[in-house]
Amino acid sequence: MESSTMGQTSELLGVSIDTVRRWADADRFPTHREGNRRIVEGTDLAAVCVEVAQEGGVGEEAPYPSARNAFPGIVTAVKLGDVAAQVEVQAGPHRVVPLLAREAVMELALEPGMTVTARVKSTSVHIERG
């Protein structure tokens, strides 16, 4: 049977390691010690993963996306068209300007001054709030 450290559990659940420790201390799932490490058995981790997913996440942190190139920044402009929208993001010294579906921009309620993360994968840019 596979098992995970608290850090690995944190990554799989998409929450901070402090949250994982609090949940374990509150008996949300059992752990045991191997040396100085707390370990979560695979079946227990699978159960809590399903539980967290059914809750819709905990609202603390988003799950890790597949796109690795992340540019945290701030929205500087939003130009809405009939179907598409252009969102300007200043990410440190980088200006990222993705073309997104208007519907996506409206759903995310993007507006100047909002902090976002632009995630770049190949030639696509994914925007997420916060």
| pLDDT interval class at 87 (50, 70, 90) | very high
pLDDT, residue 56, reads 64
Each residue's pLDDT tens digit, 91-113: 777 788 999 999 999 999 998 88
Q: Specify the 3-state DSSP secondary structure of 101.
A: strand
What are 118's two structure tokens? 């632009």
Residues 6 or more apart whose Cβ sits within 8 Å of residue 24 = 6, 30, 31, 38, 40
Rg (CA), the chain: 19
With 90 as the cut, is the pLDDT of residue 128 above it? no
Q: What average pLDDT score do residues 6-35 get? A: 89
Each residue's pLDDT tens digit, 57-76: 544 455 555 556 788 788 88
> Whole-angstrom distance between the N-terminal and C-terminal Cα of the chain?
37
The answer to whether the predicted template modeling score (pTM) of the entire model surpasses 0.75 is no
Each residue's pLDDT tens digit, 3-14: 889 988 887 777
pLDDT, residue 3, reads 83
